[in-house]
Structure 1
């Protein structure tokens, strides 16, 4: 696989991770389901995975960039496993709506696994790390658009988390944005 083909595949991966984050935002803002602390940590895993893919798109493929993606997906997967195990016992309830019979945290675990497997598979193609076009070059228009989308979603997740959790710990079962509903703030 050539470095330019690898960059294109990484841009498609970046789009896929961005779509996951967009789906989480739609659930948050359209359905009004605020993310729990574990959900927020899973979003951190997706943003970290997007960062590794973005490094490949922006600066060319490197094993270390894939490592960032894989480690971030492993982190997010571990958080997802924790949440799945917390809801697996009958009678413990669930968190959030189900999509095709599975909750977001279960889908997140599956997607993190796909990210790890996809990056591991891409690492087998060593030609992407060498060759005439392996050095730094400009990202394609699609790659640049995916970089901008991922950066916007990372920033939006940060802002949303600060609004939801304020300056302290996030509530286990959030029902409102703490920073927007705090009566101690001036003008409230």
Structure 2
């Protein structure tokens, strides 16, 4: 897999994580549902994964940046699995409205697991010898990075604004 393909995959990964955070943020206001503490911790996991992808987009793909992605995804798996286990007992209501039949925390578990698998495949297909090439961030990469920073900032502000009430 060449560097341009890796850059595109990392940019799409960053965009995906940002879109997930943005959807959670929008649904929070549209459905008027405050995120629970475990949901907020899952958002932290998505931010950690997005940060790892952003490092790859800005500085070029490196295995240590994928390490950040994997740590964030494993953290997210742990927090989302904890919440799934709280609501797995029959008759126990889920928290929040379902999205396409599954709650946010169930989707979070699935997406974090897909992220771990995807990064593992990327690492298997990456040629170590290409790491010495020069790297320049793309225009699309810059736009996605700015979008990610704005969405994370909005999530942080909304979290602290809601806790004041």
Alignment partner, residue 18 of structure 1: 18
TM-score of the two chains, using structure 2 as the length reference: 0.94
The answer as to 2:65 corresponding to 1:54 is no
Instruction: Return the offset for 1:131.
Output: 2.8
Instruction: Return the offset for 1:87.
Output: 0.5
- Structure 1 runs (4+) greater than 2 angstroms displaced: 129-135
Deviations 1:25-71 (A, max 9, x none): 11101111110000000000000000000000000011110010011
Distance 1:132 1:88, change over 3 A: closer
Deviations 1:95-146 (A, max 9, x none): 000112111100110000011111111001232x4338734x3211111111
Alignment partner, residue 100 of structure 1: 100
Distance 1:33 1:153, change over 3 A: same
> What is the 5 A alignment of 1:16-165?
16-127=16-127, 129-131=128-130, 134-135=133-134, 137-165=135-163
Q: Is the contact made by 1:52 and 1:65 (CA closer than 8 Å) also made in structure 2? A: yes
Structure 1 gaps of 5+ residues are 166-178, 182-188
TM-score of the two chains, using structure 1 as the length reference: 0.83
Instruction: Return the offset for 1:94.
Output: 1.0
CA RMSD across the alignment: 1.4
In terms of Rg, which structure is larger?
1
SS in structure 1 at match of 2:40: helix
Q: Which has the higher helix share?
A: 2
